[in-house]
Structures are given as structure tokens and as C-alpha cells.
């Protein structure tokens, strides 16, 4: 007799050759023919089966042949039972892992997360009993327990098995195992999970060449995600000693894999100290930080507005000085609200105590005129003020000599040459008349 066994999990066939019942009977008949007294001895010695004494050697032979027969029969019964159990293999063969989800999708070393296995029963009319769901890997540590209870999965139903894990391993690819027991087989499933310690990248894509003390400038900070998975709760923070940032904190939110975002921040430094740029983000439920320091050094602003006075003229009329001139913006930014006034010892007078030109664009110019009194002064300072693009008031002064005004006054006073010419002419005429009269006498 040949009995076939089939293992569903390994899909291997095993064959066992056992003697038939008829072959066992023939074996016992042959023994009785050789030892005819054996049967009676076996019967007579049945009451001594307690182990104290056996009747004869032939009785022992019959005894052990009976044991062999019993074992063979039980083996046959067991084989038949296993074969009946295996007849359900087409049912459990339709139970499979339909999806696997890691959160986060890609781990950092030291990250905690979860893995969820979705098990689906694709049988249309048969339920399956699930037992002992486990997760195992040598590098990924299991933080939660296993599923040690039985659960019935109905036809066309899906059930989740979630495990908490710790990625306590270096960078690399890992293949943890998930196993699930049925009544007649085991389900094994391996899935790739990756540990990657690549952080977000912070870059300053635009900033001024130099900073000016107490002057507001703008910088552009770029945050890029080179990872293979999305991150969330991204927050940009700007800080530093002697630095005012607007805004000082900026919430970005989720940042997809391969994406980047630019953020404009206004910086007003009061001291030459680094600006700390910090980016906080979450990989799953794990907090991570990346930072960058930007040095700050003060120097003249190469782009600021630069109004310059030119073509200055001074006049004096009845003790009131009148100064006119032009202002040109030689910078690269607008000069807003440009105005000119005379400072002490000048005493501003109407009609132009203060002259407002307005806004001057780069390479643009405007004219001004101020009037004032300055008795006994050799020069007076003219103050020019304007506002930069941030509304800061910037002033400068230029001294104007009033000697030019004296020349102007000399030019405006009556000339003595005509009077002298008339006097000479009168004297000449008088001399000529006197000479004629004396000659006639």
C-alpha cells in the first residue's frame, strides 16, 4: 500500500510504502505454522501481561507482531486523516497578503513607525481561520506584540495586521518577514523596507553681498526634499543675536519627495553676528532638524540711493541769500521724498524755507531753491534728506560758501565807471572852454 502526503506550504509530495492488512495476516499465519503451540501459549499467558512474566518465546513473537499491526493500522488511519485535511488546500491557497504599508515609507536610523499587512480571503463562499500573526527581522526591532488569537476571515474579506517597529539599524535595504498560520498551512511574506539618513537640504539662493547696520534686507531660503518619501510639518525658523527677522517663523507643511520651496525673509541686523536658519520636520511621527548659519558682515551698501548736489549758485538780494542747484540720484535704488533746507547759522526765509523735490529714480535729477539770512557768516550747511525703500530717513550735509554771494552782490551794485567817465568828460569840456576863453582874451 502506498500513501501520498502533500504539504501546502512547501508544495512538496511525500510517499510512504506500508504493508497491507492481508500481508500482515499472512505474516502471522507463517509464524503460527512454525510455532504451533504459540497461539495457546499466548492465550494462556494473557493474564500475565502485566510484565512480570511472559509465557513463552512464541508468545512474545505474537505480542510484538500485534503491536506492529496496531502501529500499522494507526499509521494508516493517521495518513487518511492528513489526506482529508489536505483536501482543504485550495481554500487556504486563496488567502494572500494584498498590500503592505510602512509609516513612514522610508525610515531614518532610530525612527519608530508601523507596518500594516492587509490579508485578503479571495474565496467566494468559504471562511478561513487565521492564527498567530507575527513580524520578524534581525535589524528591525518589534515594539508591539504578536497576534496570538484565532480570527475568522470571511469570504472576500480583508483584515489588517499592524505592528509597531523600531528601525534600529544602519542605512540599507531590509526584508522583514510576516507569517500567519492556518489550520493546514502557514503564510509567509517578505517586503522591502529602506533606511535612508538623507536629510532635507537648506540653501540660501539670494542675499545681499553685504549688510548695512540697521538696514532691512531680504534673503531667499530654499528648502528641498531629496528623500524618496514625503515629509510633513515643515517649519522654517530664523533667529540670531542682534537680528530681527520678518517673519521669524514660517509654517510650510508637507513637502513631497523631490520638491522644493522658496521663502523670502526680511533681515535687519544690528550687530555682525550669524543668522541661524533652522528647519524642523517630521518623518512619520519622528521629529528631525536641519540647520544652516549665515554670516553677517557690515559694509557700505553698493545699491542704495545716492543723491548728489551740483550746479550750486548763490545770490544776495536785500540781505536775503538765494541758493539754487540740482540733485542727481547716482545710486541704484530710488530716493524717495528728497528735500533740501539750510541749517544754522542760516535763518530760513520765505518763500523757500524748505524745498521738496520728491522721488528721484536712479540717474534722475531735480532742481531746488532755498532762501535764508546769514549775517556775517562765511558759509552755511545745506541739509539734504530722503527715504530709502524701507522708509528709513537718510540725511547728508554740504557746506556752501557765501563768498559767491558777495561777488553777486558786487555785480548787482551800481558801477562807478560811468560816473568817472562823465566826470572826466565834464572836466575835459570845462578845460577846453576855459582854454578857448583865455585865448580870445
One digit per residue, the tens of pLDDT, for the chain of length 441 reads: 434 444 444 444 443 444 545 555 655 665 565 445 444 444 343 334 334 444 444 444 445 555 544 444 444 433 333 332 333 457 778 999 999 999 999 999 999 999 999 999 999 999 999 988 999 999 899 999 999 888 899 999 999 999 999 999 999 999 999 999 987 788 999 999 999 999 999 999 999 888 988 888 899 999 999 999 999 999 999 999 999 999 999 999 999 999 999 999 999 999 999 999 999 999 999 999 999 999 999 888 778 888 999 999 999 888 899 999 999 999 888 999 999 999 999 999 999 989 999 999 999 999 999 999 988 888 899 999 999 887 888 899 999 988 754 444 444 445 555 667 777 778 777 776 666 666 665
- Residues 96 and 159 reside in one and the same domain: yes
Task: Establish if 212 belongs to a structural domain.
Answer: no
Residues 96 and 190 in one domain: yes
Handedness of CA 221, 227, 230, 233 (dihedral sign): negative
Which residue segment(s) compose the domain that 49 sits in? Answer: 2-87
Decide if 363 is inside a domain: yes
pLDDT number for residue 10: 42
Residues 75 and 113 in one domain: no
Same-domain check for residues 122 and 160: yes
- Note whether residue 427 is domain-resident: no
* Cβ-contact 275, 267 below 8 angstroms: yes
| 226 & 247 share domain | yes
User: Could you tell me if 173 and 240 lie in one domain?
Assistant: no
Query: So what's the pLDDT on residue 395?
Result: 92
Strands 201-206 and 217-224: antiparallel
The C-alpha atoms of residue 77 and residue 70 are separated, in whole angstroms, by: 11
Q: Residue 230 falls within a domain, yes or no? A: yes
> What beta strand segments (E) does 260-415 contain?
260-269, 275-283, 286-294, 307-317, 320-329, 335-342, 347-348, 354-360, 365-373, 379-387, 393-401
**Which pLDDT does position 91 carry in this prediction?**
72
Residues 389 and 350 in one domain: yes
Residue 428 within a domain: no
In a domain, 402, yes or no: yes
Say which residue the cell 518623518 belongs to: 283
pLDDT of residue 440: 63
Domain count, the chain: 4
By the 8 A CB rule, do 231 and 281 touch? yes
Domain boundary residue, one of 44, 60, 87: 87
Whether residue 163 lies inside any domain: the answer is yes
The x, y and z cell numbers of residue 162, run together, are 499592524
Quick check: is 45 in a domain?
Answer: yes
> Which one of 60, 87, 114 terminates a domain?
87
Examine the domain organization and report whether 115 and 74 are in the same domain.
no
C-beta of residue 23 within 8 angstroms of C-beta of residue 39: no
316 Cβ contact list (under 8 Å, min separation 6): 322, 405, 406, 408, 409, 412
Does 75 share its domain with 108?
no
Task: Give the pLDDT confidence score for residue 429 in this predicted structure.
Answer: 74
CATH code for the domain in which residue 145 is found: 2.60.40.10
pLDDT of residue 215: 85
CA–CA dist 412, 436 (Å, integer): 42
- State whether 126 and 164 are in the same domain: yes
Using the Cα atoms of residue 360, residue 365, residue 367 and residue 370 in order, give the sign of their dihedral.
positive
pLDDT computed for residue 420 by the predictor: 73
State whether residue 339 is helix, strand or coil: strand
* 33, containing H or E segment: helix 21-34
What is the rounded CA–CA span in Å between residue 249 and residue 236?
6
Residues 273 and 362 in one domain: no
Q: Are residues 289 and 331 in the same domain?
A: no
Task: Mark which of 248, 263, 294 sits at the end of a domain.
Answer: 294
Amino acid at each position: 500500500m502506498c500513501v501520498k502526503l502533500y504539504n501546502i506550504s512547501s508544495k512538496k509530495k511525500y510517499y510512504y510504502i506500508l504493508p497491507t492488512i492481508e500481508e500482515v495476516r499472512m505474516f502471522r499465519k507463517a509464524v503460527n505454522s512454525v510455532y504451533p503451540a504459540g497461539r495457546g501459549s499466548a492465550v494462556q499467558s494473557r493474564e500475565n501481561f502485566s510484565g512480570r512474566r511472559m509465557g513463552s518465546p512464541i508468545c512474545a513473537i505474537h505480542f510484538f507482531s500485534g503491536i506492529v499491526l496496531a502501529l500499522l493500522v494507526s499509521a494508516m488511519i493517521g495518513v487518511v486523516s492528513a489526506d482529508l485535511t489536505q483536501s482543504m488546500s485550495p481554500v487556504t491557497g486563496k488567502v494572500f497578503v494584498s498590500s503592505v504599508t510602512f509609516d513612514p515609507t522610508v525610515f531614518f536610523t532610530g525612527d519608530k513607525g508601523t507596518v500594516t499587512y492587509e490579508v485578503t480571503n479571495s474565496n467566494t463562499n468559504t471562511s478561513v481561520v487565521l492564527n498567530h500573526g507575527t513580524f520578524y527581522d534581525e535589524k528591525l526591532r518589534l515594539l508591539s506584540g504578536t497576534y496570538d488569537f484565532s480570527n475568522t476571515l470571511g469570504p472576500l474579506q480583508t483584515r489588517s495586521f499592524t505592528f509597531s517597529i523600531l528601525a534600529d539599524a544602519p542605512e540599507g535595504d531590509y526584508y522583514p518577514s510576516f507569517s500567519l498560520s492556518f489550520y493546514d498551512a502557514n503564510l509567509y511574506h517578505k517586503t522591502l523596507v529602506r533606511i535612508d539618513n538623507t536629510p532635507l537640504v537648506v540653501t540660501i539662493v539670494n542675499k545681499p553681498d553685504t549688510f548695512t547696520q540697521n538696514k532691512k534686507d531680504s534673503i531667499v531660503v530654499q528648502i528641498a526634499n531629496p528623500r524618496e518619501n514625503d515629509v510633513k510639518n515643515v517649519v522654517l525658523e530664523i533667529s540670531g543675536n542682534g537680528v530681527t527677522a520678518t517673519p521669524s517663523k514660517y509654517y510650510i507643511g508637507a513637502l513631497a519627495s523631490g520638491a522644493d520651496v522658496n521663502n523670502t525673509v526680511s533681515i535687519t541686523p544690528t550687530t555682525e553676528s550669524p543668522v541661524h536658519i533652522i528647519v524642523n520636520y517630521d518623518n512619520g511621527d519622528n521629529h528631525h532638524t536641519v540647520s544652516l548659519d549665515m554670516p553677517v558682515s557690515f559694509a557700505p551698501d553698493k545699491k542704495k540711493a545716492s543723491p548728489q548736489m551740483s550746479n550750486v549758485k548763490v545770490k544776495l538780494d536785500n540781505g536775503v541769500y538765494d541758493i539754487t542747484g540740482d540733485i542727481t540720484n547716482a545710486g541704484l535704488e530710488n530716493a524717495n521724498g528728497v528735500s533740501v533746507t539750510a541749517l544754522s547759522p542760516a535763518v530760513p526765509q520765505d518763500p523757500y524755507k524748505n524745498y521738496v523735490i520728491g522721488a528721484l529714480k536712479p540717474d534722475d535729477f531735480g532742481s531746488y531753491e532755498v532762501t535764508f539770512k546769514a549775517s556775517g557768516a562765511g558759509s552755511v550747511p545745506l541739509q539734504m534728506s530722503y527715504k530709502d525703500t524701507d522708509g528709513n530717513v537718510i540725511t547728508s550735509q554740504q557746506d556752501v560758501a557765501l563768498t559767491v554771494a558777495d561777488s553777486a552782490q558786487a555785480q548787482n551794485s551800481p558801477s562807478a565807471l560811468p560816473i568817472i567817465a562823465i566826470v572826466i568828460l565834464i572836466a575835459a569840456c570845462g578845460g577846453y572852454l576855459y582854454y578857448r576863453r583865455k585865448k580870445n582874451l
